Structure 1
Amino acid sequence: MTQATAIIVGASSLLSREIAKQLSAQGVELSLLVQDPDSLSEFAQSLPNKAKVYPLQIDQPQAIITTIESLWQELDGAHLVIVNTGLNSYDPSLPWQPEEDIITVNVQGFSAICNTVFRLFTQQGYGQLAAINSIAGLRGGPSVAYHASKAYAANYLEGLSMHAQRLKLPITITDLQMGLLDKAAMQQSRLWLSPPQEVARQAIKAMQKAKRRAYITKRWRLVAWLTKLLPEFIYNTRHWRTKEERKAAKAAKKAQ
């Protein structure tokens, strides 16, 4: 392969599409895997460089493996694979079904993708696997299965990196640790929310530098550091509420 090629698994999100735009502008040919290919066909056609869309059954690990292997043969390999598959939900009553769905997608599906890609990279002799992960995996949290799944992903990626070193192969594993963007959006925090273009730019820069782990955006490194240091009785006082909800709670407390 002389043409730079990349596969984005889970290409329908806003961040994936922005990464695709910037990579395509740099001359990278893209293969985009999504659950609903029709929803991304117009976007793929708008990119400045070649891009094709393929179906993805993210809740069926064996189907994922078959899809990636077939695509790999069609492309004759790839230089970069980006994994951006993740499911999250929060319900204080902790019903089992959402938890099971998160585990299926974030653990089983994620593992099937990374395991298959790593195996194909070992046969190819080189490559880079990058995964959109989250600092939510540093500790447990209100969305119990989600936080646990992100910790699993971080350890799985570290294990693959160690295995590549033992095999003495130039396979780079990059763990892109995103900040708590959902929480920042919920609280309408301008300080912690960055434009998608900047998030994608920093993610691509980290991949190009072959970073083992990177915090995206960089300011979330401080939050990650504090998260690890906080004692549980302080860490557990976090509230997933909007500014309006917090103001209302304060007003109600004063009125008592």
Structure 2
Amino acid sequence: MTRTSAIIVGASSMLSKEIAKQLSAQGIELALLAHDANTISEFAATLPTPAHVYDLTIETPQRLIAQLESVWQEMGDVRLVLINTGLNSYHPDLPWTLEQEIIDVDVRGFAAVCNTAFRLFRTQGIGQIAVINSIAGQRGGPSVAFHAAKAFAQNYLEGLSMHAQRLKLPITITDIQLGLLDKAALQRSRLWLSPVDEVARQVVSAIIKGKRRVYVTKRWRLVAWLIRMLPEYIYNTRHWQNKKH
């Protein structure tokens, strides 16, 4: 058996890379899955522990399931599967092609990863699934499929957690609710936009502590609460103006 290892599904983003750095610094061997593995090969070589890179085929669930099973066997002693995937786009005409792409990745692909990881952890008897999710799932929004997909993810993870409890298995499900960082970036808000290393630090801390649900950064908990509490006629005024794309 090798050292404890983790699989990061969707490893090419800045956040995923920073999380990988922090996990590797703790002696964890990594499997990094990205849409184009070549783009992260040089990064993987800089990590202090072995980091293996693989191409990610999240839009085709059956291939993805087989791929995850293969990576699992290669790694050995996998204790964490971290999922950081997702498409988000907006067009006022809501073209079905765009909606379908988001659903294929954010719903079908996401569920395939979670289902496979849960099954493998169940056989192993222990493990943790952690997901970079979004508070966008609290309510609907102009990016219709994206908001709906994040709500799906939130409920899917809650269901997996309940299932693990019914089976009396030490499988931890961690729902990491990121704030609306894209909007904060567009508004250049120093209050709501935190450095990526701090975001990653809070993510890794939540994973280590085995949190069920956490808001990152912590101040976004207040925004999530306000989003849930606002009556629809007030919440909708945020979206009356045409959104640029």
TM-score > 0.5, shorter chain as reference: yes
In 2, the alpha carbon distance for the partners of 1:4 and 1:176 equals: 22
Q: Which amino acid aligns with 2:165?
A: Q
Offset of 1:48 from its aligned partner?
Answer: 1.4
Q: Which residue in 1 is equivalent to 2:75? A: 75
1:151-190 deviation per Cα after TM superposition (whole angstroms, max 9, x unaligned): 0000000000000001101000000000011111122211
Q: How many residues get paired?
A: 242
In 2, the alpha carbon distance for the partners of 1:72 and 1:23 equals: 18
Offset of 1:2 from its aligned partner?
Answer: 5.9
Q: Which residue in 2 is equivalent to 1:10? A: 10
SS at match of 1:94: coil
Offset of 1:50 from its aligned partner?
Answer: 1.1
Structure 2: which 5+ residue stretches go unaligned? none
Q: Which residue in 2 is equivalent to 1:193? A: 193
Q: Which amino acid aligns with 1:202?
A: Q
Q: TM-score, normalised by structure 1?
A: 0.92
Contact 2:2–2:77 under 8 Å retained in 1:
no
Identity of aligned residues (%): 68
Offset of 1:76 from its aligned partner?
Answer: 2.5
Q: Which residue in 2 is equivalent to 1:32? A: 32
Structure 1: which 5+ residue stretches go unaligned? 246-256
Q: What are the within-5 Å matches in structure 2 for residues 106-125 of structure 1?
A: 106-125=106-125
SS at match of 2:211: coil
Q: Which residue in 2 is equivalent to 1:202? A: 202
**Distance 1:208-1:146 versus aligned 2 partners, 3 A rule:** same
In 2, the alpha carbon distance for the partners of 1:26 and 1:119 equals: 26
Contact 1:183–1:240 under 8 Å retained in 2:
no
Q: Which residue in 1 is equivalent to 2:41? A: 41
1:178 aligns with 2:178: yes
CA RMSD for the aligned pairs? 1.4
Contact 1:139–1:227 under 8 Å retained in 2:
yes
Q: TM-score, normalised by structure 2?
A: 0.96
Q: Pick the structure with greater CA Rg.
A: 1
1:63-99 deviation per Cα after TM superposition (whole angstroms, max 9, x unaligned): 1101001111112340111000100001112111110
Offset of 1:239 from its aligned partner?
Answer: 4.7
Q: Which residue in 1 is equivalent to 2:238? A: 238
Q: Which residue in 2 is equivalent to 1:139? A: 139
Structure 1 stretches (4+) deviating beyond 6 angstroms?
Answer: none
Q: Which residue in 2 is equivalent to 1:252? A: none
Q: Which amino acid aligns with 1:238?
A: R
